[in-house]
């Protein structure tokens, strides 16, 4: 069951995630079991060596994880996450595709694959989401 009735509703909700929004992250696609987010890279995303900061890649992955986790169950918070950096991005855009690997009664496992717009695998993020009970 989806928590957001449309991608526009999800975008409006996650617009309040100011750090990701101010970094330039966008929500491009959302279904019951997948979220795709992206980020156009610019000089603000680069470190002193000219490479993309690991925190930028992590922020994109974490945002995609949050979107999909909260599509599955609101409110879900990160309980544990890990990221493996695979290759330096070569393109101008990063794309994060989040898929739900398992959705249980109290937790979910979401895999986020990050690539660039030239097809290079950049990182893989694995997040465990804890499903909170919300008083209504």
136 within domain boundaries: no
62 within domain boundaries: yes
| Tens-binned pLDDT, residue by residue, of the chain (136 aa) | 589 999 999 999 999 999 999 999 999 999 999 999 999 999 999 999 999 999 999 999 999 999 999 999 999 999 999 999 999 999 999 999 999 999 999 999 999 999 999 999 999 999 999 999 876 5
Per-residue b or e along 26-56, where b marks 16 or more CB atoms closer than 10 Å to that residue's CB: ebeebeeebbbbbbebeeebeeeeeebeeeb
Number of folded domains in the chain? 1
Question: Which pLDDT belongs to residue 136?
Answer: 58
35 within domain boundaries: yes
Q: Are 68 and 34 in contact (CB under 8 A)?
A: yes
CA 132/CA 87 separation, integer angstroms: 35
88 within domain boundaries: yes
1 within domain boundaries: no
Residue 121 structural domain: 7-131
Rg (Cα) of the chain, in Å, rounded? 15
- Residue 109: give its domain's CATH number: 3.10.129.10
Q: Are 109 and 100 in contact (CB under 8 A)?
A: yes
CA 2/CA 26 separation, integer angstroms: 19
The strand order across the sheet containing 76-85 reads 26-30, 34-40, 93-103, 107-116, 121-131, 76-85
Name the one residue in this structure whose structure tokens are 């929500």: 27
Backbone angles phi, psi at 56, to 5 degrees: -65, -45
2 within domain boundaries: no
pTM equals 0.95
């Amino acid at each position: 069951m989806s928590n957001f009735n449309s991608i526009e509703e999800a975008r409006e909700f996650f617009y309040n995630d100011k750090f990701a929004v101010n970094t330039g992250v966008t929500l491009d696609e959302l279904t019951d079991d997948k979220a795709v987010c992206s980020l156009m890279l610019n000089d603000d995303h680069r470190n002193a060596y000219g490479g993309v900061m690991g925190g930028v890649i992590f922020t994109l992955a974490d945002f995609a994880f949050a979107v999909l986790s909260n599509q599955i169950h609101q409110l879900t918070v990160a309980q544990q996450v890990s990221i493996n950096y695979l290759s330096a991005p070569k393109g101008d855009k990063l794309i994060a595709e989040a898929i739900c690997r398992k959705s249980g009664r109290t937790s979910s496992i979401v895999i986020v694959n990050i690539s660039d717009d030239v097809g290079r695998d950049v990182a893989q993020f694995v997040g465990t989401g804890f499903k909170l009970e919300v008083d209504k």
